[in-house]
Amino acid sequence: MDPVLVFIGAVVVAGVGYWFFNKDNDDVVGGGESGFKPVPVAPAKPKAEVKKAAPSAPKAPTAKALNAMTKKEIDQVGKDFGVELDARKTKAAMVKDFQAGIKAKK
């Protein structure tokens, strides 16, 4: 093939590639010299911010959870919640006193 024809073909291919990848109206659909009217593209809406819940007071353990603990652990949980318990009582009595103390604080 003649080198001049190869050069002309390369220039044509480069021109088409430049035209295809470097259009002036990148922000509209149907832009350019195609005969269509440009249609504006709506800007993307920002994502809604997720509201974080305000830190709440820790929930008191249930009777079932308290019964699974030792008397020392129940006494410590009572102190954490501001309920004074008597460790000389039975575990069942300590659980009842804890629940009564929590209800009294509400």
**Where does the pLDDT of residue 7 fall: very low under 50, low under 70, confident under 90, or very high at 90 and above?**
confident
State pLDDT tens for residues 33-77. Answer: 555 666 777 787 777 776 776 667 778 899 999 999 999 999 999
Percent of the chain whose predicted confidence (pLDDT) is above 70: 76
Mean pLDDT of 89-98: 95
DSSP-based helix, strand, coil % in the chain, nearest 5: 45, 5, 50
Domain ranges of the chain: 3-36, 63-105
* Cα distance between residue 69 and residue 77, in whole Å: 10
pTM, two decimal places = 0.48
